[in-house]
A and B are shown apart, each in its own frame.
Chain A
Amino acid sequence: MKIPYYPGCTLNTVAKDFDLSAKTSALAMGFELAELPQWNCCGATFPLTPDNIIALTAPAKVLSNARLAGDTLTTLCSVCYNVLKRTNKVIRDDKERRSTINGFIEADYDGSLNIIHFLEILRDRIGFEKVKKAVKKPLNGLKAASYYGCMLLRPFEDMGIDDSEAPMIMENLVTALGAEPVTFPNKIECCGAHLAMNNEDIVTRLSGNVMTSAVNSGAEIIVTTCPLCHYNLEKSQPKVAESTPGYKNVPIVYFTQLLGLALGQNEAGLGFDKNQWDARPLLKKKGLL
């Protein structure tokens, strides 16, 4: 099974480990992420004003190209997923904006694409039960906290991947992989997002809240779906450790890295070497590597 795949800019640059581990583990699960032959940046933010149509043209271009490759499109980055899914909904439901956008991008796209996240493929198309059966090396004893952030879940009416206030999709995956899910109160709080550019203090505080909350709840490792969350957590960890007595740095990995590991894939194809806080010592200690 080949599924058309939109990596987005980040997965081609700072989050290569996400891209690599996703492709590896997809193959292990019996499907292939077929990268679109032609794609551009999704725009990285969904405009909050309805008349800001120009901001919708970049994602619309991605969608109209993707439609040529099939009726489904999958993606990994939470921001890309958010922007593409919401833009697709606008094009599908709002006739007026659809025709304006199509005029801009010189296309005739009708919003008929089905945008699904990699997690949805695992849950809805394959099923976590089957994932569990495919696990070769269960991640026994690994206490993993699933951190969702904002973009994957909200706004609920547009995203609908899971309950936006009490999501369980990642915990269920982690459980299927044999690890021990750690729930923590800040799992859907913001990491600080783009404020990384101009106000690091806020990012440090917010990401710090997420990490300390996870660690205090007993997490040994934090799992994410979002390259931006990943970046912010990794980058702010030294400052958090500095200001929080007794805090010990934890590895922050993508869910696909753990998935690949549990499916018995070679470490080389999972990009563990690219994480700022190396997960390998922990995994070795647990006998998983």
Chain B
Amino acid sequence: MPRIGVFVCQCGNNIAATVDTKKVAEEMKNLPGVVFACDYKFMCSSPGQDMLKNAIKDNKLDGVIVSACSPHMHEKTFRKACESAGLNPYQCEITNIREQCSWVHHDKTKKAGTLKSADLTRMTIERLKKNKPLAKIKIPVKKKAIVIGGGIAGIQAALDIAEGGVDVIIVEKEPSIGGNMARLSETFPTMDCSQCILTPKMVEAELHERITLYTYSEIEKVDGYIGNFTVQIRRKSKYVDEERCTGCGECIEKCPFKVDSAFELGMTKRKVIYTPFPQSVPNVPVIDAPNCTKIQKDKCGVCAIVCGPKCIDFKMEDKIVTVEAGAIIVATGYQLMPNERFGEYGYGRIKDVISGMQFERLASASGPTGGEIKRPSDGKVPRSVVFIQCAGSRDEKKGVSYCSKVCCMYTAKHTMLYSHKVHHGQSYVFYMDIRAGGKRYEEFVRRAIEHDNAMYLRGRVSRVYERDGKVLVQGADTLSGNQVEIEADMVVLATAIISRDGADTLAQKLSIGYDKYKFYNEYHPKLKPVETVTAGIFLAGTCMGPMDIPDSVAQGSAAASKVLSLFSADEMTREPITAIVNKVTCNSCWDCLTACPYSAIERDAVKNRQGVITKWLAKVNEGVCQGCGVCVAACRSKSIDLRGYTDEQVFAAINAF
């Protein structure tokens, strides 16, 4: 006969208001196998846990039921308490009588709540009688990390991991690390130059002995599980031997062909063999194959002729590199909503309507105008500039419903940069609300308004059109209740931050979740902000949603600390709630294999005494299995069971109802 103890929690008044906990405990005492039952004000408090431990010892309990809040809250607490009292932790079960009972009942006579709590507890008792002690699973850990994305979040994560003594690979799609931050001119709220604070970190990452840079590379395939990922990386052909290239730049100089520069957002041209920007890391050019006449038509080849170390190879092909790693950090960043979406603002038709990022390049000392604010159409210095905020953000109809978070701040910064560079210029800002939540952010916006004379107009712009070389902006000023028309020389749109093209494909390769905007989902929005549902894969930066540089850096560090703590031991333990195959009844139909969303089912060879394979059976990889139970439902011969949730346990609970 089992010796079960039942502990009913009052949770202050959370449960006790609608459940007579004493009565529930009394009723349980009469059930066969229950040798101890009581109620208590707060089971999760230290005295509550002590009481539980003492009761286990005093009554020689071999099973414990805590009827309290959701197992999500305190299952771990009570299992730990049981373990310290010498009980197998999986002999402790939780009955949820708070979220699923007391909170949904309003009956102050406590009749319904008590009845339901007793029913639920009785079900758990019957279930517990079928429990088997389980042992935690131990998995070896491959101590190497991969960071996908070499923007500021990825660089920060890689540096922190490397400083912690662990090898890390940065996989970056572009020819250089640096990401979007490399494009910015100055950064709010301190107005320090973006490149001046970013490039030291880029160089540090390049020189760090524990960091390997795979630039111009993309993730091809991801297999395995926490501690043991196998990642295939496509190293796109640069047509330049990275080892031998000295970065002299002779090839770039002599290349006779030019195309629009993607880094400069089409505002200037670059050569066909190029580095995206002067401070690129690594400082190795790549050949833009679709535009190279040598590769396409076998004409030219000047770069190979002038190259001193002879490192140009037009026959170079993509390479697939396979890397084993214990953890992956995804820091793939964001892109901006294409301005072509804003017909009413004339983008694409009116040359002097540009995006905020293009303004950053205009203001940047390394940009196409050398830091002078000149409008694209005729190169004149604009005497007045209109900034339109929320271009696509907070606009469910035409854009996205969320706030892009950084635009209020960078628009204020733009007005400042503009007034510093064009002293008699007037800037106008059309805004919905000014969202300047952050340390010294509100003061920053006030400075733009009060010291740099930015004219803030609360309202939306209905139309932008051209007349006589001017850009006319029609909008509403809702504070004065008037329609306004401004004759501007240039218009800057604060376009919405959106997820990167291909974010969904990468998420599918990694088996991580994403929302309807294709931003990656964190495990828990408050308490697990850098984890994903797939153990061993972490997130950092704007691939999760709009955020500014400080937040991205903080997340990079947070994700790095998660990786380092994962790597702190040679083995890691995980919950033993995994599927298990009955080898006697398995008939190798492989329904489980196709059903498993985590690819945790493997084909396992069964050999006879002579070592000849006689048949193949399904086997669960405990490292990968997440205990979802899909295979259990799919199995036709009922040969798969889920530890901790066996059919026997579930039916016992149902029968007790």
Contacts and interface: CB of A to CB of B under 8 A. Distances in A.
A160 interface: no
A205 to B, nearest CB: 10
Nearest to B462: A189
Interface stretch (B84-92, B318-326, B465-473): B465-473
B467 A166 contact: no
Nearest to A165: B343
Contacts of A166: 343, 349
Give chain B's interface residue range (CB within 8 Å of chain A). under 10
Contacts of A186: 465
B interface majority secondary structure: strand
Interface string B324-362: 000000000000000000011000010000000000000
Given A185-B466, A186-B465, 5 more contacts: A165-B344, A185-B467, A185-B472, A189-B463, A216-B467
Q: Which of A165, A186, A216 has its CB near the most chain B CB atoms (within 10 A)?
A: A165
Interface in A145-200: 163-166, 185-186, 189
Contact of B343 (A163, A185, A189): A163
B209 to A, nearest CB: 55
Q: Which 3 A-B residue pairings sit nearest by Cβ, starting from the closest?
A: A165-B343, A185-B465, A165-B344
Contacts of A164: 343
A163 B349 CA distance: 14
Nearest to A164: B343
Contacts of B467: 185, 216
B396 to A, nearest CB: 12
A189 B472 CA distance: 14
Interface in B448-480: 463, 465-467, 472
B463 A185 contact: yes
A163 B466 CA distance: 19
A225 B202 CA distance: 60
A164 B349 CA distance: 15
Contacts of B465: 185-186
**Which residue, A163, A164, A166, A185, has most C-beta atoms of chain B within 10 A?**
A185
A216 B468 CA distance: 10
A163 B343 CA distance: 9
Contacts of A163: 343
Contacts of A165: 343-344
Nearest to A185: B465
Contacts of B463: 185, 189
14 contacts: A163-B343, A164-B343, A165-B343, A165-B344, A166-B343, A166-B349, A185-B463, A185-B465, A185-B466, A185-B467, A185-B472, A186-B465, A189-B463, A216-B467
Nearest to A217: B467
A69 B252 CA distance: 70
Interface residues of A, number: 8
A223 to B, nearest CB: 19
A189 B463 CA distance: 9
Contacts of A185: 463, 465-467, 472
Mostly, the A contact residues are: loop
A165 B346 CA distance: 9
Contacts of B343: 163-166
A124 to B, nearest CB: 21
Contacts of B472: 185
A192 to B, nearest CB: 14
B348 to A, nearest CB: 9
A99 to B, nearest CB: 28
Contacts of B349: 166
A166 B463 CA distance: 11
Nearest to B467: A185
A43 to B, nearest CB: 25
B338 to A, nearest CB: 15
A163 B467 CA distance: 22
Contacts of B344: 165
A209 to B, nearest CB: 10
B471 to A, nearest CB: 10
A285 to B, nearest CB: 28
A216 B467 CA distance: 10
Nearest to A216: B467
Nearest to A184: B465
A216 B344 CA distance: 21
Interface in B263-281: none
Contacts of A189: 463
A164 B462 CA distance: 13
A166 B348 CA distance: 11
A49 B465 CA distance: 32
A189 B465 CA distance: 12
A186 B344 CA distance: 11
Nearest to B464: A185
B339 to A, nearest CB: 13
A14 to B, nearest CB: 30
B341 to A, nearest CB: 10
Interface string A210-250: 00000010000000000000000000000000000000000
A246 to B, nearest CB: 16
Nearest to B349: A166
A237 B341 CA distance: 35
Contacts of B466: 185
Nearest to B345: A165
B350 to A, nearest CB: 10
Nearest to B342: A165
A166 B466 CA distance: 14
Interface string B470-493: 001000000000000000000000
A275 B500 CA distance: 55
A162 to B, nearest CB: 11
Interface in A88-120: none
Interface string A45-69: 0000000000000000000000000
Interface string A115-143: 00000000000000000000000000000
A166 B353 CA distance: 15
A150 B152 CA distance: 46
B337 to A, nearest CB: 15
A163 B463 CA distance: 15
A188 to B, nearest CB: 8
A163 B340 CA distance: 12
A182 to B, nearest CB: 14
Nearest to B472: A185
A129 B472 CA distance: 35
Interface in B366-396: none
A166 B467 CA distance: 16
Contacts of A216: 467
Interface in B148-193: none
B194 to A, nearest CB: 34
B278 to A, nearest CB: 38
A124 B88 CA distance: 75
Nearest to A155: B397
B207 to A, nearest CB: 50
Nearest to B344: A165
A163 B342 CA distance: 11
Nearest to A157: B397
A123 B105 CA distance: 63
A216 B472 CA distance: 15
A189 B466 CA distance: 15
A138 B468 CA distance: 31
A215 to B, nearest CB: 13
B349 to A, nearest CB: 7
Interface string A258-270: 0000000000000
Nearest to B468: A216
A165 B461 CA distance: 13
A185 B472 CA distance: 9
A156 to B, nearest CB: 9
A189 to B, nearest CB: 8
A164 B463 CA distance: 12
B467 to A, nearest CB: 7
A166 B346 CA distance: 9
